[in-house]
Structure 1
Amino acid sequence: MANFFDFGLTLDLLRLPFVQLALVVAVVLGLLAGVLGPLIVSRNMAFSVHGTSELAFTGGAAALLLGWDIGNGALAGAIIAALVLGLLSRRSSEYDSVIGVVLAFGLGVGVLMLYFYKGRASNKFGLLTGQIVGQDFASFALLMACAAGVFAVLAVIYRPLLFASVDPEVARARGVPVTALALVFAVLVGVATALGVRTVGALLVLALMVTPAAAACRVTASPLRATVLSVLFALVSAVGGIILSLAPGAPISAFVTAISFVIYVVCWAVGRARGLTRA
């Protein structure tokens, strides 16, 4: 139990190259999650992120079984999930049921693939809960290339996407391609989710992609301020989760989730106090 608060050991571990690389990865993931998060929340896509992460897990499990790179497998699985969810759920009334069907199927196939995988058990566990040693320069290069692509596409479509997220009916009447933007955004979310699987794990990547943004939306209605706060909260959760996980050697996702939850509770209390004061 004492190792959970061994600051000397934590400082020693922070000097290791693979830990420093993981911290850089956490910063990139925090930026991605922070920027995409408010749009995910405004579009009610939290369940979609969970479904996408399960398909990213399935892709990673398939890559693990076939001896391929886990990051590439997770990325392929997430993109396929985003396209499938976008094409099968054209009506909002069908969206949750389609996600539930795809999620259950993907999770079942992924578990079956892990059963057939005869390699190290740590690889299986890390795919589900994240692991700091899963970062290498090949996965880092993939991360940076995908992150740059996501930010580039988002910079082009952000204004019409925000318009379509806030008021889709008016946006459609103004000639904004709402359906096409939804599909593109789903792919962007899928890519970002897949990138988080190796660090945070497939089961709890939702904590990084949604919780910081949900906390930010509790204290502000401004899209700009919500994005800034979401980025800040996501960075604190991702970087703080890695640092706290070093000494005990515990899964990163547990600490990322805990930090995100504490931030959300504080923002919820602040938002509620403001509402009571105004009332």
Structure 2
Amino acid sequence: MSIVDFITDLFNPALSFLPKALVIAVMSSIVCGVIGCYVVLRGMAFIGDAVAHAVFPGLAVAFVIQGNLVLGGAVAGVLTALLVAVFSQNRRLTEDSVIGIFFAGAFALGIVIISRAPGYAGSLQQFLFGSIVGIPVEDLYTVAIAGTIILLIAFLLHKEFVAVSLDREMARSAGLPVFWLDIALYVLVTIAVVISVQTIGNILVLALLITPAATARLLTDRLSVMMLLAPVIGGASALVGLYISWSWDFPVGGTIVLVATAVFLVCWFVAPRHGLLAKARGRVLRRRVREVVAADV
């Protein structure tokens, strides 16, 4: 399918789900790109994966009662994040242990809840792997509003998030409320995951949160530039992934993730300062410099 045909399909009234899927995929990719920068900076990839599991019981309950999936997932994720933050205060248990217990338990609860609903197999597949069909119009507004709020909070708390990410003890000694900043970041990650689940799926949503941000980190040493590049990479991956999936009938969530992964692999090799080729050239240059210095001596 040519790009012109794809654009034509976007404006085809009979395919109204396609532009809705594109808008949600791009919006969620942009939000995940920004929030993912904090996740990558803090080395919190496990948190992102755990949150993706934690929202599942909320999605399941919302599905059973025919409620709003975004709201249901957000409530479940936030409640679980609060439990983790509280129980992690007991220094006998490490934070990752508490995270593993609660988020695995939350995911198991979601499995049990959704298994009691009619159409269990189909709905479970949609939650886990995403679906571009059946996205209601109101979800466009929900994602847009939630995404705007996330980005606004991230902008207002940006300096605090960076301070905690770089040195928690220094941030605590400076009087920053580290505990509440952790809660705020957990909540932002939760909502970013929830608004991405319908398109990308529960299983693959971690890639949307981590991969664009990690790719941007390879391309720049400046956090401000990284936070501009990550949503651009995520949004472009969503656009190209949806085009490829629609053209060749591939699963949309998996295709978007594969496109983002391909971009990461390319940058891993060709990034101007931190790419594999750049490091190899640097080693060769340093060896030649040492040889010249040794010859002069």
Q: With the length of structure 2 as denominator, give the TM-score of the two structures.
A: 0.85
CA shift at 1:120, angstroms? Answer: 6.8
Amino acid at match of 2:223: P
Quote the Cα distance in structure 1 between the aligned partners of 2:116 and 2:109.
Answer: 11
Quote the Cα distance in structure 1 between the aligned partners of 2:251 and 2:113.
Answer: 22
Alignment of 1:42-57 (within 5 A): 42-57=41-56
Partner of 2:10: 14
Quote the Cα distance in structure 1 between the aligned partners of 2:64 and 2:238.
Answer: 28
After TM superposition, the structure 1 stretch with the greater mean CA deviation from structure 2, 154-163 or 203-212, is: 154-163
CA shift at 1:21, angstroms? Answer: 2.0
CA shift at 1:34, angstroms? Answer: 1.4
Amino acid at match of 2:282: R
Amino acid at match of 2:225: R
CA contact under 8 A between 1:31 and 1:234: conserved in structure 2? yes
Partner of 1:269: 269
Q: Deviations over 1:222-245 (max 9, x none)?
A: 101211221121112222222222
Percent identity, aligned pairs only, is 28
Partner of 1:165: 165
Between the two structures, name the one with larger relative contact order (CA 8 Å, sep ≥ 6). 1
Quote the Cα distance in structure 1 between the aligned partners of 2:224 and 2:200.
Answer: 26
Quote the Cα distance in structure 2 between the aligned partners of 1:86 and 1:58.
Answer: 19
CA contact under 8 A between 2:40 and 2:214: conserved in structure 1? yes
Partner of 2:71: 72
Partner of 2:188: 188
- Structure 1: tracts of 5 or more residues without a match: none
Quote the Cα distance in structure 1 between the aligned partners of 2:77 and 2:237.
Answer: 23
Equivalences, count: 275
Amino acid at match of 1:13: D
Structure possessing the higher radius of gyration over alpha carbons: 2
Given the superposition, is the C-alpha separation of residues 81 and 250 from structure 1 closer, same or farther in structure 2, using an over 3 Å criterion? farther
CA shift at 1:6, angstroms? Answer: 7.3
CA contact under 8 A between 1:86 and 1:186: conserved in structure 2? no
CA shift at 1:254, angstroms? Answer: 0.7
Given the superposition, is the C-alpha separation of residues 21 and 92 from structure 1 closer, same or farther in structure 2, using an over 3 Å criterion? farther
CA shift at 1:181, angstroms? Answer: 1.0
CA contact under 8 A between 2:21 and 2:135: conserved in structure 1? yes
Amino acid at match of 2:179: T
Quote the Cα distance in structure 2 between the aligned partners of 1:8 and 1:261.
Answer: 26
Partner of 1:24: 23
CA contact under 8 A between 1:74 and 1:197: conserved in structure 2? no
CA shift at 1:50, angstroms? Answer: 0.9
Q: Secondary structure at the match of 2:118?
A: coil
- Structure 2: tracts of 5 or more residues without a match: 284-297
Quote the Cα distance in structure 2 between the aligned partners of 1:78 and 1:48.
Answer: 11
Partner of 1:116: 116
Quote the Cα distance in structure 2 between the aligned partners of 1:42 and 1:138.
Answer: 33
Alignment of 1:56-95 (within 5 A): 56-90=55-89, 94-95=94-95
CA contact under 8 A between 1:130 and 1:197: conserved in structure 2? yes
Q: With the length of structure 1 as denominator, give the TM-score of the two structures.
A: 0.90
Partner of 2:289: none
CA shift at 1:149, angstroms? Answer: 1.4
CA shift at 1:135, angstroms? Answer: 2.1
Quote the Cα distance in structure 2 between the aligned partners of 1:248 and 1:276.
Answer: 38
C-alpha RMSD of matched pairs (Å): 2.2
